[in-house]
């Protein structure tokens, strides 16, 4: 059937709410407003205010309340409008969600799912546009997933809710209106493995989330240059599926990492380091990176576009790598 | 302060048990100081000595299905909640037999069996968790109540205000217990708060709030029972300000430059053990011989806890990365 990323996410929420009484959704404007990005539109009517809970603008309190409710036997889904706002709840995410299992010597699971929007591309400037999922991937004790396809938007939530540990789902804001086909019986998908989205033999383009489709477009363009590019979608940033990356690079011997986060101290740096550690002798060229420019996101369209990884930049980095 | 007639000690000796519980906490922590000096306990260690009446009094009002969230100064709360002295002492020594498997230490005591949820060492950080535990109780209609302890310093944190507002808005079954010992580490209340009447802050969120003499365990118990009864009956969250005092330094590294010794002495004159002890003696419930017998009992319990902890084992280094993620996941 034809659907959108947004509708696939909503279908996943609806299924979770229908199939498990312990599941509820809370966050700012998830109810009456229908969700800042209209993901939860209509769910209040279907499930009522006990299970679709509008919260005050208190990120720390409602994320912490999600942790407490998870400890108390519920399966909360907490929505935070954007990753930039999630910093107001960073204490709860890092000091509690990620540490309670450990501090309690394995006694206390926190089966919590936190969803938030990430990424740029909509001229929302420097406090609504950043890609901080790589930062979160620094933290042991939580899982970081980044659905890029409609199938993953539909299927990652159920698996995240089944997990006994906290899972953060990062939804790139530019993906919500994306249209595509989804199998009628689409359901839960694994959240442990990277996926090869396009097979190729000359180099590996490694990416995730909002830059997956730019990277696929670049791979298509590279084919016109006679370069066969493999595209690997990380899907999960923590724990990283290093085996899949190494397996691909062992075939292609070249790699370019594309990441909307800033370059310094980033997930792209982590990936490059792991490839250097794990398959240095497989490499025929230095690992290249295409990242966002190291500026807070500017407002004007031309500057925002210049700050972000773009198809042309990916193509030229790839050509330089195979050159 | 709540105006309640002073309670007459009960010959059935519930009060005698309260005295023993407070004594256990005090002697337990005195032993911890010795073990700290002997370098068997390390890290930060925050003593509750002087404040025993608060945890012991409040926790009388809870049942086994209720939940507790406490701070990094929580040895007393764990013991009063019924976590055994053995498990707490083993945790102090970092042994795998400890109530947190040795991973937490003094500041992170946890015990799922008694619904004791820490042991939170970020000031104010446990308050949203307590609200969430209460939300789960409300959604599951368990009738459970969550008691959430925090110091007066936490009242300056945004998490306090966000949480009290949320709990009140959703009428959740939480008892907020503010242990006002007058100092946030070294910062006196008047130096950090524009409004020093703490009950007023909770009242601003439409939460019933009152102040209690935190040195009088019977007054604390009465107030907590009254509050918990109301919370359980659907009255929404309640707030108690428990006026108390910490006799010892903030932690083991504190030279106490910020307060006079005379002030400490003044508070010692209203010592919770002495206050209740004198009332029990006056009422003929507890004489000196019985006190000595209880002291001996408590010493034996602590000796046993120390022996248990000393005989315990350190977790093998090979297990270092356990408890980061759950060992069992659905396939």
Lookup: tokens for A94: 């890092």
Fold of A2-181: Rossmann fold (3.40.50)
Quickly state the pLDDT bin for B253 (edges 50, 70, 90).
confident
The residues of chain A scoring below 50 in pLDDT are none
Quickly state the pLDDT bin for B1 (edges 50, 70, 90).
very low
The full DSSP string for A256-276 is EEEEEEESTTSHHHHHHHHHH
Q: Answer yes or no: do B110 and A103 touch at CB < 8 A.
A: yes
The partner residue sitting opposite B137, judged by closest CB among A62, A72, A91, is A72
pLDDT of residue B12: 62
Mean pLDDT of B197-209: 96
What is the C-alpha separation between A44 and A166, in angstroms, rounded?
A: 24
Using alpha carbons, list the distances in angstroms from residue A21 to A47, A51, A109, A304, B167. 11, 9, 19, 43, 22
Q: CA of B259, closest CA in chain A: separation in Å?
A: 31
| pLDDT tens digits, one per residue of B226-247 | 999 999 999 999 999 999 999 9
pLDDT of residue B330: 83
- pLDDT of B65 > 60? The answer is yes
Q: Tell me the average pLDDT of chain B.
A: 95
Q: Do the two domains A2-181 and A195-322 of this chain adopt the same fold?
A: yes
**Contacting B residues, span 113-172, partner chain A, CB-CB under 8 Å:** 117-120, 122, 125, 127-137, 139-140, 146, 158-159, 162-163, 165-166, 169-170
**Contacting A residues, span 68-107, partner chain B, CB-CB under 8 Å:** 68-74, 76, 91-92, 95-96, 100-107
Whose tokens are 């010795």? That residue is B34
pLDDT of residue B252: 84
pLDDT of residue B8: 57
Determine whether domain A195-322 maps to CATH 3.30.160.20.
Answer: no
The full DSSP string for A71-118 is HTT-EEEEEEEEHHHHGGGHIIIIIIITTHHHHTTT------EEEEEE
| E runs forming strands in chain B | 67-71, 116-120, 146-151, 174-180, 183-184, 187-188, 209-213, 238-243
Lookup: tokens for A274: 């792991």
pTM of the predicted model as reported, rounded to 2 decimal places? 0.96
Phi and psi dihedrals of B192, rounded to 5?
Answer: -125, -15
Q: Which 3 state secondary structure label does DSSP give B10? A: coil
Q: Answer yes or no: do B133 and A68 touch at CB < 8 A.
A: yes
Whose tokens are 């330094």? That residue is B249
Closest by CA to A101, choosing from B8, B161, B225, B328, is: B328
Contact A6, A29 (CB under 8 A): no
Instruction: List chain A domain ranges.
Output: 2-181, 195-322
Q: Answer yes or no: do B98 and A141 touch at CB < 8 A.
A: no
Quickly state the pLDDT bin for B103 (edges 50, 70, 90).
very high
B162 contacts in A (CB within 8 Å)?
56, 58, 60-61
B133 contacts in A (CB within 8 Å)?
68-69, 71-72
What does DSSP assign to residue B111?
A: B
First to last CA, chain A: 42
Quickly state the pLDDT bin for B2 (edges 50, 70, 90).
very low
| pLDDT tens digits, one per residue of B272-285 | 999 999 999 999 98
- pLDDT of B7 > 70? The answer is no
Contact A11, A40 (CB under 8 A): no
A65 contacts in B (CB within 8 Å)?
128-129, 131-132, 135, 163, 166
- pLDDT of B140 > 90? The answer is yes
pLDDT of residue A311: 98
Pairing of strands B174-180, B183-184: unpaired
What is the C-alpha separation between B301 and B215, in angstroms, rounded?
A: 25
pLDDT of residue B60: 97
pLDDT of residue B11: 52
pLDDT of residue A46: 98
Q: CA of B120, closest CA in chain A: separation in Å?
A: 8
Q: Answer yes or no: do A106 and B98 touch at CB < 8 A.
A: no
Domains, chain B: 14-310 (3.40.50.970)
The secondary element (H helix, E strand) that includes residue B133 is: helix B127-140
B100 contacts in A (CB within 8 Å)?
103-105, 107
| pLDDT tens digits, one per residue of B279-306 | 999 999 899 999 999 999 999 999 999 9
Pairing of strands B146-151, B116-120: unpaired
Q: Is B253 on the interface with A (CB under 8 A)?
A: no
Enzyme catalytic residues of A: 59, 128
């Amino acid at each position: 059937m034809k659907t959108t990323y947004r509708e696939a996410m909503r279908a996943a929420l609806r299924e979770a709410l229908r199939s498990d009484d312990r599941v509820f959704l809370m966050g700012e404007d998830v109810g009456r407003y229908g969700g800042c990005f209209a993901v939860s539109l209509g769910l209040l009517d279907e499930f009522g205010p006990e299970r679709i809970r509008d919260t005050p603008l208190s990120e720390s309190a409602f994320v912490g309340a999600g942790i407490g409710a998870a400890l108390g036997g519920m399966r909360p889904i907490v929505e935070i409008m954007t990753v930039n706002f999630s910093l107001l709840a960073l204490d709860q995410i890092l000091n509690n969600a990620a540490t309670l299992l450990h501090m309690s010597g394995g006694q206390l699971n926190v089966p919590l799912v936190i969803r938030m929007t990430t990424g740029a591309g909509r001229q929302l400037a420097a406090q609504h546009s950043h890609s901080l999922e790589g930062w979160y991937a620094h933290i042991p004790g939580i899982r970081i997933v980044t659905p890029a396809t409609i199938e993953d938007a539909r299927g990652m939530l159920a698996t995240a809710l089944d997990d006994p540990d906290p899972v953060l789902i990062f939804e790139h804001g530019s993906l919500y209106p994306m249209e595509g086909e989804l199998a009628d019986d689409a359901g839960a998908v694994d959240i442990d493995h990277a996926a090869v989205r396009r097979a190729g033999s000359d180099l590996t383009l490694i990416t995730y989330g909002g830059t997956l489709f730019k990277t696929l477009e670049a791979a298509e363009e590279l084919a016109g240059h006679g370069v066969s590019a493999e595209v690997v979608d990380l899907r999960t940033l923590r724990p990283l599926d290093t085996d899949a990356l190494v397996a691909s690079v062992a075939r292609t011997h070249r790699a370019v990492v594309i990441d909307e986060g800033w370059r310094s101290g980033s997930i792209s740096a982590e990936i490059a380091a792991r490839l250097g550690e794990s398959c240095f002798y497989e490499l025929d060229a230095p690992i290249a990176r295409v990242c966002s420019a190291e500026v807070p996101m500017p407002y004007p369209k031309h500057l925002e576009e210049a700050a972000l990884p773009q198809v042309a930049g990916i193509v030229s980095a790839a050509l330089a790598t195979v050159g | 302060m709540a105006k309640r007639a002073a309670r007459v000690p009960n010959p059935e000796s519930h009060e005698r048990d309260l005295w023993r519980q407070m004594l256990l906490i005090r002697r337990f922590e005195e032993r911890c100081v010795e073990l700290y000096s002997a370098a068997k306990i390390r890290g930060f260690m925050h003593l509750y000595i002087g404040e025993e009446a608060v945890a012991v009094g409040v926790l009388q009002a809870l049942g086994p299905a209720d939940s507790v969230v406490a701070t990094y100064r929580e040895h007393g709360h764990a013991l009063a909640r019924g976590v055994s002295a053995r498990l707490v002492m083993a945790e102090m020594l970092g042994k795998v037999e400890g109530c947190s498997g040795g991973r937490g230490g003094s500041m992170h005591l946890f015990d799922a069996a008694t619904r004791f949820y820490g042991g939170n060492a970020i000031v104010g950080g446990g308050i949203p968790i307590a609200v969430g535990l209460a939300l789960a109780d409300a959604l599951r209609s368990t009738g459970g109540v969550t008691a959430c302890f925090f110091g007066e310093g936490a009242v300056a944190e945004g998490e306090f205000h966000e949480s009290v507002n949320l709990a009140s808005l959703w009428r959740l079954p939480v008892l907020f217990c503010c242990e006002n010992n007058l100092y946030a580490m070294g910062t006196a209340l008047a130096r950090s708060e524009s409004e020093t009447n703490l009950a007023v802050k909770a009242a601003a969120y439409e939460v019933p709030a009152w102040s209690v003499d935190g040195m009088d365990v019977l007054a604390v118990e009465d107030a907590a029972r009254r509050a918990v009864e109301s919370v359980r009956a659907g009255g929404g969250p309640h707030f108690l300000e428990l006026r108390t005092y910490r006799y010892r330094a903030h932690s083991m590294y504190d030279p106490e430059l910020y307060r006079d010794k005379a002030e400490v002495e003044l508070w010692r004159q209203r010592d919770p053990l002495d206050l209740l002890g004198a009332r029990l003696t006056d009422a003929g419930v507890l004489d000196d011989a019985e006190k000595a017998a209880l002291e001996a009992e408590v010493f034996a319990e602590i000796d046993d806890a120390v022996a248990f902890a000393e005989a315990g084992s350190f977790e093998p280094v090979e297990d270092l990365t356990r408890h980061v993620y759950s060992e069992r996941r659905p396939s």
